[in-house]
Amino acid sequence: MWEFLVVIISFMSIPILSKKNVPIGVALCICAALMGLLGGLNFLAIKDVLSSTFLDIAKVQRYLIIVEIGILGALLKKYNLIDDVIKYTVKVIKNKRIILACIPALIGLLSVPGGAIMSVPFVDKLGGESGLSPNHKAIINLVYRHIVMPVLPYDTSFLVLTSLVPQISLYKLIGLNGIFIVLYGALGYYLYLRPIDNDTFPNNPNTEPILPNLLKLLLYTAPVYLAVILNVLFNIPFYIGMIANFVMLYILRPTKTFLLDMVQSFNVKILLALVGVYLIQGVIEKFDSISALFSLIFNSPQTILLGIAFISLFFGLTTGFQPTALGIVLPILVTLPITNNRLLIYCHFTYVLSFMGYYFSPLHLCQLFTCEYLEIPAVGIYKDYWKFFLGLAVIAIANYFLLSLWLK
């Protein structure tokens, strides 16, 4: 119980530090240090946390990806490529509400931490023309940036899940997640896109042929999706594939100061935020008594459903990293004497709830980076989030019980 209180007390420091204008990355690192101190971690445990944060090759690669994405997002804005993408997107799609959803959803194909920083300049530009508030723009960017995540087979969370529970079908799970994500998108549209006046953007001629504009749209969005194509087709890591994105951007916007602009676009705040998240994640993993308690909860049929819901949400919220919650719940689920269909439903429910916890977490990198770009406090958007959270909770619970009747 003390470790739960330690986590809660430590997280309370983040909004307090934010009100003191402490950068969010620094606040996260302070939170991790406070959590380790109150939790009584010894020297060896602290050494393990620091080692896993700064020396783990996979995390170092993610740091590099975050730096690359931050630089690319800044250059897209600096070179006005955003204007070209918006111009041709509007000519191809024409429905302004759908445009606001499609742009972050397309960038959502780039399955990397904090990828919303690439779509927020587009949403900021379009949302500004619609007269949307910064909070409204931030929420639209976050909702649709993540709409494809639960159905992407190469997403990190799916890779973790299939490695821990190889006996279930990946594509059956994607199918179940697809039901949830359709309702997720519909709820987001009703709450945040439907109120937007569809005539608020400048009118575009509807007589122009779509195909030439579509080809130009594909050309000007190439600096965003080339890394995805290289990863899917040739399994090239994102941190290497991003080089192709920069090369394509240079081809579209050749300038003698390109390398200098890249250096000047480096944002240490973004990097520090990711470091802080991993430090907190590492400290929580050292709290052994929490894992022991969870095993006890899962052994009872009366508490297993509540256990999955609470643990998935709790660790998604407290780490801002969905695989952490999956890594705690799934190894326990595979030891239960249940059918494969029941295991599939439990895995789906775990995925959805951990996704919700991660999505609404104050440590969610996409949220942190989006708010950083729009220069709004990260905690400020929650006053506009509560309806969306409650709606998703109802959808998740109803989905579970309906699927339980179907997959017995």
What does pTM read for this prediction?
0.72
Question: Mapped to the 3 state alphabet, what secondary structure does 202-269 carry?
Answer: CCCCCCCCHHHHHHHHHHHCHHHHHHHHHHHHHCCCHHHHHHHHHHHHHHHCCCCCHHHHHHHCCCHH
Per-residue pLDDT tens, the chain, 408 aa: give them: 677 788 878 877 877 886 777 877 788 889 889 999 988 888 898 999 999 889 888 788 878 887 887 788 788 878 888 778 777 887 888 788 888 898 888 777 666 666 777 788 888 988 888 889 999 999 999 999 999 889 877 677 887 787 778 888 888 898 999 999 999 999 999 999 988 876 655 555 556 778 888 898 889 888 878 887 887 788 888 889 889 999 999 999 999 899 999 998 887 877 887 788 788 878 877 887 766 776 777 777 778 888 889 889 988 887 777 887 887 788 888 888 888 888 999 999 999 999 999 999 887 888 888 888 888 887 778 888 889 999 999 999 998 888 877 766
User: CA angle at residue 367 from 288 to 57, to 5 degrees?
Assistant: 55
CB atoms within 10 A of CB 326: 27
